[in-house]
Amino acid sequence: MKIAKNGYGEIGKAKGEWADKIGEKLDLERNVSPSFQYLLAFLENSV
């Protein structure tokens, strides 16, 4: 198995940076996606 030119570490780092940027803009109260609301309810009931 060959590793991409930048390697898996670079790809993972980029994904983490994207997640941080998305997280800053995410409004939990305004997201009306049924699957997202299900996830929120599950997490709220789990703690």
11-44 pLDDT, tens digit per residue, is 888 999 999 999 899 898 899 999 999 999 999 9
The pLDDT-based confidence of 5 (bands split at 50, 70, 90) is low
The model carries a pTM of 0.50
Higher pLDDT, 9 or 45: 45
27 falls within a domain: yes
Q: Which structural domain range is residue 41 located in? A: 7-46
- Length of the chain in residues, anyone? 47
Query: Which pLDDT score, from 0 to 100, does residue 28 have?
Result: 86
1 falls within a domain: no
15 falls within a domain: yes
What are the structure tokens assigned to 44, written together? 């709220």
Question: What is the number of domains present in the chain?
Answer: 1
Residue 28's nearest CA partner among 20, 37, 19 is 37
